[in-house]
């Protein structure tokens, strides 16, 4: 099974600053999808951003962007101009097209935004 590693259990950032959350994964596949999900306290998990492995261009969604390094198997999330509403647990996830739609999740990074 593929493994996804988030080595930062907790991170903090000052409001309006930039923070980067790290994620690495292990796979022998060449085609796959990577995701960042956000889980606010006591609220539903939602998709933040998605990256297809065949695309060289890094995905961006407003203040959220990724740094996808396929050779290094690294997929970090950058949050610019951090806001109080960004405080949440963030999960990195991997999906293979070859394993029956199964998703593999990291252990999560808890982000605190300091006013």
Partner 1 sequence: DVKVTQSSRYLVKRTGEKVFLECVQDMDHENMFWYRQDPGLGLRLIYFSYDVKMKEKGDIPEGYSVSREKKERFSLILESASTNQTSMYLCASSIRYEQYFGPGTRLTVT
Q: Binding residues for partner 1, per CB under 8 A? A: 1, 6, 9, 33, 35, 37, 43-47, 50, 91, 93, 95, 97, 100-103, 105-108
Closer Cβ to partner 1, 80 or 99, answer by number: 99
Closer Cβ to partner 1, 80 or 95, answer by number: 95
CA distances from 40 to 13, 33, 72, 74, 90 (A): 16, 23, 29, 24, 9
- Give min distance, CB of 95 to partner 1, in A: 6
3-state class (DSSP) for residue 84: helix
- Give min distance, CB of 52 to partner 1, in A: 8
- Six-digit token pair at 57? 């261009």
Closer Cβ to partner 1, 39 or 80, answer by number: 39
3-state class (DSSP) for residue 86: helix
Closer Cβ to partner 1, 31 or 81, answer by number: 31
- Six-digit token pair at 30? 């060449």
- Give min distance, CB of 15 to partner 1, in A: 26
- Give min distance, CB of 17 to partner 1, in A: 26
| Closest of 31, 3, 24, 25 to residue 98, by C-alpha | 31
């Amino acid at each position: 099974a593929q493994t996804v590693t988030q080595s930062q259990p907790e991170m903090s950032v000052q409001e309006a600053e930039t923070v980067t959350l790290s994620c690495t994964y292990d796979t022998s596949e060449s085609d796959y999808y990577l995701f960042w999900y956000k889980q606010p306290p006591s609220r539903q998990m939602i998709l933040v951003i998605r990256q297809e492995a065949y695309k060289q261009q890094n995905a961006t969604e407003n203040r959220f962007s990724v740094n996808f390094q396929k050779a290094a198997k690294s997929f970090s999330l950058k949050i610019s101009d951090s806001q109080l509403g960004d405080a949440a647990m963030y999960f990195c996830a991997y999906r293979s097209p070859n394993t029956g739609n199964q998703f593999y999740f990291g252990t999560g990074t808890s982000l605190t935004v300091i006013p």
